[in-house]
Structure 1
């Protein structure tokens, strides 16, 4: 999928690829976190608080672009959590909004990336387990380009 997205970016350019109207339709960006053993409860709660605050991120026009953020603890009793402790679902109205949010390594030009999300990734990175610290999976509504 990453290769396909890079091909789309190369084909249309960063301004179009990150535009609000690029490939409209709901995108649910699912993120799971697994932490180093040394990470404290307080640090984990700060991760969730900082992630939730990304809901207020705005584009250069001052308008927010994230539809919603849901975040919380793993609470399944199925035994298939694979050690992930927190789950987050970020909902976007288009793939363009998702592309703007993701930024690097997908989009390298800072004019077309969310600086607040980039700062969050810098914060959370050292807290995550060395192997499989984050799992990211995007669910795109059927028939939505």
Structure 2
């Protein structure tokens, strides 16, 4: 779902975070017991959206037709789906704050979970925009969440489409609230990836 105020330039993404924070976090990769990790509390009330985009209204209408329980269930429209989020941090956010942000984002593979204990986030990828002509203060940070179904994506992303707290993930909602205090801009959209192997990969497969 397109919620964009800026265009993302093609070919300028380099998924590195100063060497230290370049990582890809897959479910089950963290040593901590996910049920011992603290999750910040988040408001239980509805989240207002004064002027939702047309795509949000369409999604809400579909959710009302099928019901929030089915719309956010792990079996709703199974298949690989990704959510891309592009951020611009405030100029006064320190390197330590950005590192803490990245670590908390990576930990969502464990913190984010359904009431039955299942983890809806399949993979997280993150990094800085790699345009060399941009000064450090103007660079964007990008992260990608991968899910195994549209229902898992709806459950994690929650508002502004899913506003009933019984049907969205409190861990990601708390992370979003934490993130809002650090950024000046946020652009995101979801897509179903089409994987096209490169020439080398195809050659190896043929041999």
Q: Same fold (TM over 0.5)?
A: yes
Give ranges in structure 1 of 5+ residues lacking alignment.
Answer: none
Runs of 4 or more, structure 1, over 3 Å off, are: 76-79
Are 1:114 and 2:169 an aligned pair?
A: yes
CA distance in 2, matches of 1:89, 1:121: 14
TM-score (norm 2): 0.62
Are 1:48 and 2:102 an aligned pair?
A: yes
* Corresponding residue of 1:32: 86
CA distance in 1, matches of 2:124, 2:172: 13
Q: Aligned-pair distance for 1:55?
A: 0.9
Deviations 1:25-60 (A, max 9, x none): 111101111011111111111111111111112100
* Corresponding residue of 2:189: 137
Q: Is the 8 A contact 1:32 1:84 kept in 2?
A: no
Deviations 1:52-80 (A, max 9, x none): 1111121000111111001122224487x
Q: Is the 8 A contact 1:24 1:94 kept in 2?
A: yes
Structure number with greater Rg is 2
Over 3 Å counting, the alpha-carbon distance change for 1:141 and 1:5 in structure 2 is farther
Query: What secondary structure, in the 3-state scheme, does the structure 2 residue paired with 1:34 have?
Result: strand
* Corresponding residue of 1:126: 181
Q: Is the 8 A contact 2:80 2:147 kept in 1?
A: yes
**Aligned counterpart for 1:85 among listed residues 140, 146, 154:** 140
Q: How many residue pairs get matched?
A: 136
Give ranges in structure 2 of 5+ residues lacking alignment.
Answer: 1-54, 195-207
RMSD over aligned CA atoms reads 1.6
Over 3 Å counting, the alpha-carbon distance change for 1:40 and 1:10 in structure 2 is same
Are 1:101 and 2:156 an aligned pair?
A: yes
Deviates more, 1:39-48 or 1:113-122: 39-48
CA distance in 2, matches of 1:135, 1:64: 24
TM-score (norm 1): 0.87
